[in-house]
Structure 1
Amino acid sequence: MILFNETGLAPSLLKAVEQLGFVSPTPIQEKTLPLILNERTDIVALAQTGTGKTAAFGLPILHQIEPNSKNVQALVLCPTRELCLQITNDLNNYTKFSQGIQIVPVYGGASINDQIRLLDRNPQIIVATPGRAVDLINRKKLKLGSISWLVLDEADEMLSMGFKDDLDAILSGTPSTKQTLLFSATMPSEIARIASKYMKNPIEVSVGKANQGAENVSHEYFLVHAKDRYEALKRIADVNPKIYGIVFCRTRAETKDVADKLIGDGYSADALHGDLSQEMRDIVMNRFRNRHLQILVATDVAARGLDVNDLTHVINYNLPDDPEVYIHRSGRTGRAGKKGISISILHLKERGKLKDIERMLNKKIEQKPVPSGKDICEKQLFNLVDKVEKVEVNTQHIDDYLQVIYKKLEWLDREELIKHFVSVEFNRFLASYENAPDLNVDTSKASSSKGSKSRFGNTTWDDEPRSRRGGRGMSEGSGKRGGRIQFARMFMNIGKSDRMDKRTIINMVNQTLPGKSVEIGEIEVLRNFSFFEIDNRYEQDLQRGFRQIQFKGKQIGLEVAKPK
């Protein structure tokens, strides 16, 4: 492995690199630096985000920039405003000890007139999003006739965001003598088309294999019923007290819903989605970058451009339809030599998608059991002990209170004191998970109820309609009045606000009284409770059975009501 001071870079750049703490180039930097410094060949570089791509193209280009020229010499295209600003910031850090090099970012969502004024100062390097670049080219404010380098960073992302026509327009208007540097995490057919059409015999360099995930990331999944996704997500957060991760959702509405639930349940979380203003988006992203948030819930589009190196987890609340999107998601963790975990919360119908992702990753994604209440309580207990052990004691500030505290606690011996202290925090988790159900789907019994018992839980009702699970089901209103059937009217403490419906009540009765042909009469589901009629011969059996059932974590109360 070479050192940066052996690469031939200018002393001013080496000084900046040293101040930033870089000693040796990353693998992608080691492969591309000599090619850009010493040759004029085009390059297709396949590497995940977070592998040091900006320095890989930025340092050798900066080494060759002519500070006295008034022409744009390098154009860097990237998919998002955030990445545009990040690249600009990195390049400015590299030129801290260089004289006369100007770098200007241009992107949508900001004043184009302000950006034109910056372009009028004759910068040597432009970092741009494709849409804004095309706009400025059409206004004849961005002139590319003299560029020596064109960089396409996260090219696959730009194509997936719909910038194909913009890229074609920009590339076709650049000189044939330029050096084109294309960086991508995956190699879809459109990238190959661009390379074939606009690049001259490009050299392909890669870290890992095309379309494969980062080596430092482990991949695992939990299999639950669709309605248990959120509960599974909470358990992932609780069993990882130091989690710093992104939860990917499919839609804006789901993103808001999941984030609101997490915040309401006391987690350090927020949402990032397309409905946010640019100002609010910046606030949320900065809070997350500065680790004032532990969990960011986001859509794929909203998270583009968010560049964070220390993520411990990426969680797929839903699997994406495109396996390449999964690779991009998982590539956000496991950066800079650190380990990361990509977790997917699946339901039964998503297992087919998993096979496609495994084929592209060329590795098996391991199924793990959803953490139990016991697992979580144990992890949280030792995390608490860890925090107590490592807490910094400020003797000066607490000295005045210690005598009173000693007096107050003198009746406790050492062991009892430790138990009391630990229980202050630990009891919260014991209470939360004392009756926690097993959320794992037993694939060998996928058509039966998942209401199993464990040391840490009672039966929990699976509200997925029985008709989808192969059970017999009973139609609404199939119980008929008259004849010899006498109906008992039942009151239940669960209603619409708990997401109860008529079909679920029918399925619950069928599952609680298996093998019995139970007639059900009129059903009313109101806001906070429900009434339904049942053959009165089964009212006591049903009450006994319902005592063992929870619905979405709430204990069901069932009693006989007065007739209408």
Structure 2
Amino acid sequence: MTNFSNLGLSDPLLKVLNELNFESPTKIQQQAIPVLINEGDSDFIGLAQTGTGKTAAFGLPLLESIDPARKETQAVVLAPTRELGQQIGQQLESFSKYMDGVNIVTVYGGASIQVQIKALKKKPQIVIATPGRLLDLLNRKAVDLASVRFVVLDEADEMLNMGFREDLDHILSYTEGEKATWLFSATMAKEIKNIVKKYMNNPNEVKIDSGNVVNTNIDHQYFAVKAKDKPNLLQYIIQLEPDMRGIIFCRTKRDTQSLTEQLQKRGLPVDALHGDLSQAQRDQVMKRFKNHTLEFLLCTDVAARGIDVNDITHVIHYALPDDTEYYTHRSGRTGRAGKTGISLALVSSSDQRKLNFMQKKLNLKFSEYTLPSPVAVENQKLITWAKRVMDVKTDVQAIKDHQSDIYELFNELSKEELIDKLLTIELDKFGIRDQGFDVADLDNVSLDSRSSRESEKSPYKKFFINIGKMDGFNKSDLIEFVMTYSEIKKKSIGEITIEERRSYFEVLKEDLSQMDGAFTDLMLDGREIRVNAANRGGGGGGNGGGKRSDRNDGRSFKRNDRKRSSGRGGGGGGGKGRRSGGGRRR
């Protein structure tokens, strides 16, 4: 097993790495560090995704290569964003703990340039900078790059995406004589190749194949949904997922801002990061995210560069990226520091081919995301609330003047009645049931691009029903339900899939006429039962729909406005005796 002591690092660096609990090098570190230590005077290209340890891959060799005795700027590290620059600076400061005489200065826009000029007067060996601020300092003659021996371009593809090409040309023109250019990037785009051709000479190259660096701590999931339902679905997920904290990726700045405004109007703890924000606004958003005032950031791919937060539980792809490398790049924001994470793609029918391609290209298996149960979430919240009430230390002195009046008001209530009223108040606070959105109406999209062609050949037609495991159903129950409320025989029912909140079943095409109107006006626990062709979405179709009735506390199936006079089990009574309790909960 490779460890840092095998990579040619000096004792001061090995000592601090041990203190920082750097146990074993990542793939990019294993391959890049020895090359940069032994051949650091040559140009170098490192291709690897975010989250793979690129800062240490170039930072450790850079510290080995500078001369602390020389009080002049020997290395410049360029980063696309302030946040990434700060992170690089902090990490290099930590690495240099036992290296006497090393001075590192980080400069970026949005901070006092006078303070930065004062720091540069101390002649740091390493300057870490964003391109715009470094140009400003060069124009003011506050920094001298004439002695620079190393130029590091970190996240080079994003610097170019953000429009820094001319700035890079200008900055590099200030570096004189022999120097090595170390370029690190997630992708090898055309613009990167132009940089390589213009500024680099026979560079050494290390490439970590994106297909092999997908974090194994990440669970890749998808949920099929109509494009128009995505905002409502996202709200539903945010409100119901316990302890969820994440980054939501959108395609454009406009999409990011529009979706943020929609979610904020619904009272959700979200805010946006995009290129139109000032540095002060961006800093404020990141501060709120890090202190958990915000739980979700909505970002474009460019705006998310430089975000380094280790407690992100979910990455949500509101819009899938076009490039598999960007998918890996996004997903790498979660599942860090030994923790597990979820990468969730919200896919419409038009995304099906793209998701299939990513699954094959990245050698991933996307599992279907299960929507959280409102009842389970409410119960968890209520238990937490009840424990908090139990832990309250009664302040007898404070309440004594109020007890008699309040006791008198509650005197006629039993303990159970009082608790029920308090539970109702707490449930109203959660607002979970008032979604204005029926998850049963979501579209179903298969990951298998061949499914639509195969369905044409199949003797069966597939149906969706908004009953699942949460209602106590298994395959036998669903077969009995279909037989009870239609004229379908067991031999006509094909494959059955039971999920948490919904299920699918197949019926022989030759018997489809017996499905017509079979499930109209059927209720379970006050919920309208919907049975529709699986790829048509909910709401409508000849087999679902109908008026809603009042909640049926017996939890049995119930017809609304009419009784069924034919068929097995005779209509509103709930079918066979074993199923009369309908939707029993386990």
1:228 Cα deviation after fit: 0.8
Residue deviations 1:158-211, cap 9 Å, x none? 122222333344445545643332222223233344344433433333444379
- For residue 42 of structure 1, what is the aligned residue in structure 2? 43
Question: Does residue 1:454 correspond to 2:454, yes or no?
Answer: no
Question: More deviation in 353-362 or 112-121?
Answer: 353-362
Question: Does residue 1:26 correspond to 2:26, yes or no?
Answer: yes
- For residue 528 of structure 1, what is the aligned residue in structure 2? none
Over the aligned positions, Cα root-mean-square deviation in angstroms equals 4.3
The one of 426, 437, 440 aligned to 1:438? 440
- Superposition map of 1:67-146 within 5 A: 67-146=68-147
Take 1:396 and 1:97, find their aligned partners in 2: how far apart are those partners?
51
Secondary structure of the residue that 1:90 maps to in structure 2?
A: helix
Cα–Cα, structure 1 residues 366 and 339, in superposed 2: closer, same or farther, change >3 Å?
same
Secondary structure of the residue that 1:219 maps to in structure 2?
A: strand
Cα–Cα, structure 1 residues 176 and 435, in superposed 2: closer, same or farther, change >3 Å?
closer
Take 2:23 and 2:390, find their aligned partners in 1: how far apart are those partners?
36
- For residue 199 of structure 1, what is the aligned residue in structure 2? 200
Cα–Cα, structure 1 residues 248 and 39, in superposed 2: closer, same or farther, change >3 Å?
same
The one-letter code of the counterpart of 1:28 is I
1:29 Cα deviation after fit: 2.5
Contact in 2 for aligned 1:211/1:327 (Cα 8 Å):
no
- For residue 155 of structure 1, what is the aligned residue in structure 2? 156
Residue deviations 1:326-357, cap 9 Å, x none? 33322222233433222222323333444554
1:241 Cα deviation after fit: 1.1
Residue deviations 1:261-308, cap 9 Å, x none? 433434332232344332232121012123332111233333332222
- For residue 522 of structure 2, what is the aligned residue in structure 1? none
- For residue 262 of structure 1, what is the aligned residue in structure 2? 263
Secondary structure of the residue that 1:431 maps to in structure 2?
A: coil
1:88 Cα deviation after fit: 1.2
- For residue 296 of structure 2, what is the aligned residue in structure 1? 295
- For residue 283 of structure 1, what is the aligned residue in structure 2? 284
1:235 Cα deviation after fit: 2.6
Q: State TM-score, norm by structure 1.
A: 0.67
Take 1:254 and 1:267, find their aligned partners in 2: how far apart are those partners?
17
Contact in 2 for aligned 1:313/1:341 (Cα 8 Å):
yes
The one-letter code of the counterpart of 1:30 is Q
The one-letter code of the counterpart of 2:106 is P
Question: More deviation in 424-433 or 164-173?
Answer: 424-433
Contact in 1 for aligned 2:49/2:325 (Cα 8 Å):
no
Take 1:325 and 1:98, find their aligned partners in 2: how far apart are those partners?
37
Cα–Cα, structure 1 residues 64 and 253, in superposed 2: closer, same or farther, change >3 Å?
closer
Tell me the matched-pair count.
455
- Unaligned stretches of 5+ in structure 2? 453-462, 471-538, 550-586
Question: More deviation in 6-15 or 306-315?
Answer: 6-15
Cα–Cα, structure 1 residues 39 and 302, in superposed 2: closer, same or farther, change >3 Å?
closer
Take 1:397 and 1:92, find their aligned partners in 2: how far apart are those partners?
50
Take 1:189 and 1:362, find their aligned partners in 2: how far apart are those partners?
26
Question: Does residue 1:313 correspond to 2:311, yes or no?
Answer: no
Take 1:128 and 1:273, find their aligned partners in 2: how far apart are those partners?
20
The one-letter code of the counterpart of 2:123 is N
Secondary structure of the residue that 1:381 maps to in structure 2?
A: helix
Cα–Cα, structure 1 residues 433 and 98, in superposed 2: closer, same or farther, change >3 Å?
same
The one-letter code of the counterpart of 1:61 is L
The one-letter code of the counterpart of 2:119 is L
Take 2:396 and 2:16, find their aligned partners in 1: how far apart are those partners?
46
Take 2:48 and 2:62, find their aligned partners in 1: how far apart are those partners?
19
Cα–Cα, structure 1 residues 512 and 187, in superposed 2: closer, same or farther, change >3 Å?
closer
Take 1:147 and 1:12, find their aligned partners in 2: how far apart are those partners?
24
Residue deviations 1:532-562, cap 9 Å, x none? xxxxxxxxxxxxx88569xxxxxxxxxxxxx
Cα–Cα, structure 1 residues 272 and 435, in superposed 2: closer, same or farther, change >3 Å?
closer
The one-letter code of the counterpart of 1:441 is D
The one-letter code of the counterpart of 1:80 is T
Contact in 2 for aligned 1:238/1:376 (Cα 8 Å):
no
Contact in 2 for aligned 1:29/1:56 (Cα 8 Å):
yes
- Superposition map of 1:452-531 within 5 A: 454=466
Contact in 1 for aligned 2:210/2:325 (Cα 8 Å):
no
Secondary structure of the residue that 2:51 maps to in structure 1?
A: coil
Contact in 2 for aligned 1:28/1:47 (Cα 8 Å):
yes
The one of 358, 376, 387 aligned to 1:378? 376
Contact in 2 for aligned 1:28/1:51 (Cα 8 Å):
yes
Question: Does residue 1:64 correspond to 2:65, yes or no?
Answer: yes
- Superposition map of 1:191-270 within 5 A: 191-209=192-210, 213-270=214-271
Take 2:366 and 2:165, find their aligned partners in 1: how far apart are those partners?
32
1:125 Cα deviation after fit: 0.5
Secondary structure of the residue that 1:180 maps to in structure 2?
A: strand
Residue deviations 1:393-447, cap 9 Å, x none? 867677989999xx9999659xx9999987765674663369834142145999x
Percent same amino acid at aligned positions? 44
Take 2:198 and 2:12, find their aligned partners in 1: how far apart are those partners?
37
Take 2:97 and 2:310, find their aligned partners in 1: how far apart are those partners?
22
Secondary structure of the residue that 1:256 maps to in structure 2?
A: helix
Take 1:70 and 1:122, find their aligned partners in 2: how far apart are those partners?
5
Contact in 2 for aligned 1:46/1:183 (Cα 8 Å):
yes
1:126 Cα deviation after fit: 0.8
- For residue 517 of structure 2, what is the aligned residue in structure 1? none
Question: Does residue 1:17 correspond to 2:17, yes or no?
Answer: yes
The one-letter code of the counterpart of 1:344 is A
Take 2:150 and 2:432, find their aligned partners in 1: how far apart are those partners?
60
Residue deviations 1:500-554, cap 9 Å, x none? xxxxxxxxxxx9899xxxxxxxxxxxxxxxxxxxxxxxxxxxxxx88569xxxxx
Cα–Cα, structure 1 residues 367 and 137, in superposed 2: closer, same or farther, change >3 Å?
same
Secondary structure of the residue that 1:32 maps to in structure 2?
A: helix
1:92 Cα deviation after fit: 1.9
